[in-house]
């Protein structure tokens, strides 16, 4: 690990020794649905909506029975509700029909579900099942580029660069630590690099 990566990891570890998962959930299925809802939506908004949705259906069997239109009405405040409601309905049916009602524990099977891309699969694999993964959303992509840890050409490239920069055992924690850090110290707008504990040292 490079001295810079080690120092960034040390700063993040000092600031965020505890990293709770920001999306409220009770199991792999409710986490999967919450992550699908979180696309282009804040975690706070998702956490307001999921209790309403899960009161109707908190497992794939019940969710598969709901009309797509009903799911759409509940999740409308999260945005992109037509696509997300179809995805949630479709993935629930596949989990019931192909996986015995259990969220599959592999990247390949997760990414085959409707509405589930690589980032969503990475979150579920790391946070629900504890497998090493480094989910890269637009925020982590932006920070990795800002700190000179990645060329930032694509989210896929950033994921490769971050996996190469840090030990595998730290990926699941680092993903959350970087998200918390970005919110508190390193926002996209009105960022003051001189006040940021990492950008003041390593900002590019």
Do 118 and 148 reside in the same domain of the chain? no
pLDDT digits (tens, 9 = 90+) for 68-84: 999 999 999 999 999 99
Contact between 186 and 146 under an 8 Å Cβ cutoff? The reply is: yes
Mean pLDDT of 99-108: 98
- Confidence class of residue 204 from pLDDT cuts 50, 70 and 90? low
Please give the average per-residue pLDDT across 172-200, as a whole number.
94
The pLDDT-based confidence of 152 (bands split at 50, 70, 90) is confident
Catalytically active residues, by annotation: 119, 137
Residue 93 contacts residue 99 (beta carbons within 8 Å): no
> Do 124 and 137 sit in the same domain of this protein?
no
Domain finish residue from 104, 128, 152? 128
Of 63, 159, 161, the closest CA to residue 115 belongs to 63
Here the CATH number for the domain that contains residue 54 is 1.10.340.30
Whole-number pLDDT of residue 159: 96
Domain that holds residue 191: 3-19+133-202
Rounded distance, CA 167 to CA 94, Å? 35
170 and 122 fall within a common domain: no
The pLDDT tens digits of the residues spanning 131-149 come to: 999 999 888 999 999 999 9
CATH number, position 183 = 1.10.1670.10
pLDDT at residue 7 is higher than 80: yes
Whole-prediction pTM? 0.92
- Per the structure, the count of domains in the chain is 2
Are 111 and 56 contained in the same domain?
yes
CB 56 within 8 A of CB 74: yes
**Structure-block tokens of residue 45:** 């908004």
- Segment 172-194 mean pLDDT: 94
State the chain's mean pLDDT as an integer: 96
Question: Residue 102 has what pLDDT?
Answer: 98
> Which of 126, 97, 152, 150 is closest to 31 using CA atoms?
126
What is the rounded distance in angstroms from the CA atom of residue 181 to the CA atom of residue 197?
A: 9
Say if CB 149 and CB 162 are below 8 A apart: yes
> Which token pair is 134?
């480094």
pLDDT the model gives residue 138: 87
d(CA 81, CA 198): 36
Residues 149 and 113 in one domain: no
Could you count the other beta carbons within 10 Å of the beta carbon of residue 178? 26
Tokens at residue 83, please?
């696509």
| Cβ contact 116:36 at 8 Å | yes
Compute φ and ψ for 41, nearest 5 degrees. Answer: -150, 145
Per DSSP (E only), the strands in the chain are none
Question: According to the model, what pLDDT value does residue 153 have?
Answer: 87
């Amino acid at each position: 690990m490079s001295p810079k990566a080690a120092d960034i990891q040390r700063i993040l570890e000092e600031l965020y020794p505890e990293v709770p998962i920001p999306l409220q959930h009770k199991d792999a299925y409710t986490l999967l649905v919450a992550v699908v809802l979180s696309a282009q939506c804040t975690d706070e908004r998702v956490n307001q909506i999921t209790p309403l949705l899960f009161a109707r259906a908190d497992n794939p069997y019940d969710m598969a029975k709901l009309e797509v239109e009903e799911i759409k009405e509940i999740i409308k405040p999260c945005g992109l509700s037509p696509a997300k409601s179809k995805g949630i309905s479709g993935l629930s049916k596949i989990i019931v029909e192909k996986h015995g009602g259990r969220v599959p524990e592999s990247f390949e099977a997760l990414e085959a579900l409707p509405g589930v891309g690589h980032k969503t699969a990475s979150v579920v694999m790391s946070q629900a099942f504890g497998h090493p993964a480094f989910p890269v959303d637009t925020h982590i992509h932006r920070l990795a580029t800002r700190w000179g840890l990645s060329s930032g050409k694509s989210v896929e490239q950033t994921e490769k660069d971050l996996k190469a920069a840090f030990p595998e055992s730290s990926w699941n924690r680092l993903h959350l630590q970087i998200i918390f850090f970005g919110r508190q110290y390193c926002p996209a707008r009105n960022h003051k690099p001189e006040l940021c504990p990492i950008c003041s040292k390593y900002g590019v």
